[in-house]
Amino acid sequence: MAFETLTITREERVATVTLNRPDVRNAFNETTIAEIKQAFSELGEDDALRAIVLAANGPAFCAGADLNWMKKMAGYTHAENHADALQLAEMLRTIYLCPKPVVAKVQGDCYAGGMGLVAACDIIVAVEEANFCLSEVKLGLIPATISPYVIKAMGENASRRYFLTAERFGAREALRIGFAHEVVSTETLDAKVTEIVKALVNNSPNAVQQAKVLVRDVAGQPVNDALLADTAERIAQIRASDQGREGVASFLEKRKPAWLNS
């Protein structure tokens, strides 16, 4: 895959998608949106991969929307604005629904739409120096298309504050409110991401994929008879699957599961 605004690298069973517009703090435009959607669609269907890392080049992770793109949008009709926003929404959904686990490697500041990119990922690792900001209301806008993912990541209470105030907050606050999973020094960022990716790669690929779907489907559901039946059916199916049988057998036989050699 050759892209204008991204670089894609692969090492064994892990792909890294890197935002590569450091001169504009990795702000995205329509080209970036289309390329991210294409990259995650294709990588998500690659059976050779076990995990994807979303990273960025330069001092900032992502500053949100590109200024030139915003200038262009200022002249759009309502229909054009709706179509344009839908492209961003579909790109975020592609990351969120990606069959592979996605780790966000946040090496610098992450603002506005950039927070949507990160929130759509499964695991978020940020450096201590990173700052976050949902700055849309300062411009008379709202973080609408990113809201489903940001609210899931940081919760309704924190979202209410930061959507309304547009305050900048640091990585430790991101960790406290649940937006980030890990906050580390710049020097240990690579090691921490590698550690997490190794854990993902060592697990059953099928179980990891199904566990990701499980969280998405069960979160917020009432604990009723329908949910009990659904979760019982899921465990019954995966117990009978090839990797389910192999995982239990390898544990009982004190050997490595076959998927580590595939």
For 1-52, what is each residue's pLDDT tens digit? 689 999 999 998 999 999 999 999 999 999 999 999 999 999 999 999 999 9
- pTM attached to this predicted model: 0.95
pLDDT given at position 71:
74
Give the mean model confidence (pLDDT) for residues 69-87.
83
Q: Measured in Å, how far apart are the chain's first and last C-alpha atoms?
A: 24
Residues 6+ apart with CB under 8 A from 181: 123, 124, 125, 175
78-83 contacts: CB < 8 A, separation 24 or more? Answer: none
pLDDT given at position 66:
84
Residue 190 tokens, joined: 């690579």
Percent of the chain with pLDDT over 70: 99
Task: Check pLDDT > 80 for residue 67.
Answer: no
116, 146 contact by CB (below 8 A): yes
Domain ranges of the chain: 6-200, 204-260
CA atoms of 200 and 202, how far apart (whole Å): 6
Instruction: Output the CA torsion sign for 213, 261, 39, 17.
Output: positive
168, 113 contact by CB (below 8 A): no
Residue 83 tokens, joined: 């179509």
Give the mean model confidence (pLDDT) for residues 153-161.
97
pLDDT given at position 1:
64
Identify which of 124, 129, 168, 186 has the alpha carbon closest to the alpha carbon of residue 149: 124
- CATH, domain range 6-200: 3.90.226.10
- CATH, domain range 204-260: 1.10.12
Give the mean model confidence (pLDDT) for residues 154-183.
97
Q: Which residue has the higher pLDDT, 48 or 71?
A: 48
